[in-house]
Structure 1
Amino acid sequence: MDRLVSMQAFTRVVDVGSFARAAESLDLPKATLTRLIQNLETHLGVKLLHRTTRRISVTTDGAAYYERCVRILADVEEAEQSLTRHNNSPRGTLCVDTVAGLAQMVLIPNLQGFFDAYPELKLELTLNGKPIDLLKEGVDVVLRVGNPLDETMVARRVGVLKLAMYASPIYLRRSGTPTNLTELAQHKAINYLSNRTGREMPWPLARGDEQGEILLPSVISTNDAEVYLGCALEGHGIARISRAMAEPYVASGRLVEVMPDWQTEELPISAMYPQNRHLSAKVRVFVNWAADLFSRHPHFGAAQQPSTRDTIRALAAAG
């Protein structure tokens, strides 16, 4: 058991690149974690880590040992989980990171069903939305909107975000209602800032065989969905909003869909997790639960089928 604890300590230090952060995530005193690593190096007779006051790096022997440790620890976890798999009772803490809109509209209203099915799981739900290092942040799985760009991650498509153009009656009374692309180009927009690039995001548009992309001038741009919606409701311009978020405001008359014959893009919603980690039972049941949840949602369902590459990578990670 001490050997496994030492392996876990070593892999966590490598994952997060810091003794202090590793000790915190394992709920151990830093001195205890340091002693575990030192005893492990003494037992193996090799140096696993290069340590300076500024950084930690892995030796050649340490890198090889790390890969073996990851597999061994994954096998141990799988063996433990297999004892409870017959009654679908994975246990422990599951760390999920997503964006506020998906949490509020899809996850939170249905969490009781998840806890009823998996009563021994505790959920840590964080709202970030920006690219993060899952290993360093101690996150098991993220839910993200948009095409996955990180090739080191397994991405399973679980839903789709359907967008349309909306404006408030306040804005339309003041500026008129566009009916074509030429008129649309004369309007102001509320632009969304990409979390990846920090730049304003253009709007792809299509009607039948006609396709184009437009970036309207704006008086305000933001990277926060709630602020973005608030600006649209206050009449600061035309906005591209998810149908799920806009629906109640359309029903109450506070938003009006603009140029409904023109389609804007549909963005994939993906559950993502590191491909170099064994897919644990708690991650597996959450991803399956989320996929079923989104597929039955009137605004987030009808997801495109995952690509062959994604399917192969997901199966490989699942073992």
Structure 2
Amino acid sequence: MNLLAAIASFIKVVETGSIVGAARNLGLSAAAVSQTLNRLEEHLGTRLLQRTTRRMALTENGALYYAKVRRIASDLEAAQMAIRTDDNELQGRLCIASTSAFGRHVVAPLIAGFAARYPRLALELCTSDGKINHIQDNIDLSLRIKPQLEDGIVARKIASVPFIVCAAPAYLERAGIPRTPEDLQHHACLGFRYPLDGRLLRWGFTRNGQHTYAALTFSAISDDIDALTQMAIHGAGVARLAEFLAAPYLESGQLIALLKHSHEPNESSAQPLDIYACVQDRAAMTAKVKAFMDYLTEHLDKSWIQASVVITRPNSLHDFNAPNECKLI
């Protein structure tokens, strides 16, 4: 028995939650993966998985074994990549998860160029505003916003995207132009309900170095930011959109930017949308993950790039390689 191959099969079964899923990922038949698991269990002299027709679960010994061997696959890949000198040798599957809007409007347009640079990589882009689980969903790298951050992951802020408060000319002709965040409470605003926990995201502003939140009246709410964009374009009210969403409509005149920031005293500016690149742990920072991160930051709008910072809950969320920690504020 090839012990390393057997361990790799076991890891994939646990990560995908099924023999069929592991087989598809490994390019093998389900029967071959099942036989390999049987041989591994015989070799170890213990049952690793409880398998029925409907479900599969780790045994107590299986959970202990998985905890010890789960990094083997990534460690082997990292060792293999370390001795290669040709970047084009990067190969295998690379799965990137992203929030829906950032994935659709920023990441997806970059995939063609990245694929051309690394033609032997098989790329997968998953877009979702829900909960992300690197292990269960077999994700190599996730791009998240602050509400998605959780204990235990390794994360780095890679960009701060400006928010644009804006509305259609037809709405502004009808309702007037808000000049300050306080004026927004007298306007029909379009709210985003975050799918992860159902919260309405507040509109944050900075004035004289102080963070404040505007008092708002939402006339319409959606859990799809693209839907809110369309509402704004058609005159439903005032929206707060990330720059990558608003830019083409501002250029065409379908939307008008409001509350424009100046450097005058007492002026307010919308707090930005911070984007974080996350991996499960430091062992997951493989050569192909690093290559994609480098490509992403290379092609992001340079005005979005911020100095990387360590984030957050002490001793739980960690920066990729910074030695110190700080709280996320």
- Which runs of 5 or more residues in structure 2 are unaligned? 261-266, 323-329
Between the two proteins, the alignment pairs up a number of residues equal to 313
2:281 matched to 1:275?
Answer: yes
Q: Given that residues 167 and 256 in structure 2 are in contact (C-alpha distance below 8 angstroms), is that contact kept between their aligned partners in structure 1?
A: yes
**1:38 corresponds to:** 38
Q: How far does residue 245 in structure 1 lie from its aligned partner after superposition?
A: 2.4
Distance 2:218 2:299 in 1: 36
**2:11 corresponds to:** 11
Q: Given that residues 249 and 255 in structure 2 are in contact (C-alpha distance below 8 angstroms), is that contact kept between their aligned partners in structure 1?
A: yes
**2:264 corresponds to:** none
Q: How far does residue 112 in structure 1 lie from its aligned partner after superposition?
A: 4.6
**Cα deviation per residue 1:34-55 (whole Å; 9 max; x = unaligned)?**
2211111111112222345554
**Cα deviation per residue 1:200-229 (whole Å; 9 max; x = unaligned)?**
212112222554213522232112222111
Q: How far does residue 315 in structure 1 lie from its aligned partner after superposition?
A: 3.3
**1:231 corresponds to:** 231
Q: How far does residue 166 in structure 1 lie from its aligned partner after superposition?
A: 0.6
Q: Given that residues 164 and 263 in structure 1 are in contact (C-alpha distance below 8 angstroms), is that contact kept between their aligned partners in structure 2?
A: no
Distance 1:24 1:178 in 2: 55
- The one-letter amino acid of 1:274's match is Q
Which is further off, 237-246 or 30-39?
30-39
CA RMSD in angstroms comes to 2.7
Distance 2:5 2:157 in 1: 35
Name the TM-score, length of structure 1 as normaliser: 0.86
SS of the residue corresponding to residue 8 of structure 1 reads: helix
- The one-letter amino acid of 2:293's match is V
Distance 2:259 2:272 in 1: 16
- The one-letter amino acid of 1:119's match is P
Q: How far does residue 240 in structure 1 lie from its aligned partner after superposition?
A: 0.4
Distance 2:208 2:121 in 1: 47
The alpha-carbon distance between structure 1 residues 308 and 195, as it changes in their structure 2 partners (threshold 3 A), is closer
Distance 1:283 1:196 in 2: 25
**Cα deviation per residue 1:83-131 (whole Å; 9 max; x = unaligned)?**
4245453111211122454345433444454234323223222322322
One of 306, 309, 320 as aligned partner of 1:306: 309
Q: Given that residues 96 and 124 in structure 2 are in contact (C-alpha distance below 8 angstroms), is that contact kept between their aligned partners in structure 1?
A: yes
Q: Given that residues 106 and 293 in structure 1 are in contact (C-alpha distance below 8 angstroms), is that contact kept between their aligned partners in structure 2?
A: no
Written as runs of structure 1 = structure 2, the 5 A alignment for 1:286-297 is 286-294=292-300, 297=301
**2:327 corresponds to:** none
**Cα deviation per residue 1:259-282 (whole Å; 9 max; x = unaligned)?**
224212112111112117442211
Q: Given that residues 145 and 161 in structure 1 are in contact (C-alpha distance below 8 angstroms), is that contact kept between their aligned partners in structure 2?
A: no
SS of the residue corresponding to residue 25 of structure 1 reads: helix
Written as runs of structure 1 = structure 2, the 5 A alignment for 1:72-111 is 72-87=72-87, 89-111=89-111
- Which runs of 5 or more residues in structure 1 are unaligned? none
Q: How far does residue 185 in structure 1 lie from its aligned partner after superposition?
A: 1.0
SS of the residue corresponding to residue 102 of structure 2 reads: helix
**Cα deviation per residue 1:228-258 (whole Å; 9 max; x = unaligned)?**
1110011111110122322232232221122
The alpha-carbon distance between structure 1 residues 305 and 201, as it changes in their structure 2 partners (threshold 3 A), is same
Q: Given that residues 156 and 319 in structure 2 are in contact (C-alpha distance below 8 angstroms), is that contact kept between their aligned partners in structure 1?
A: no
Name the TM-score, length of structure 2 as normaliser: 0.84
Report % sequence identity: 29
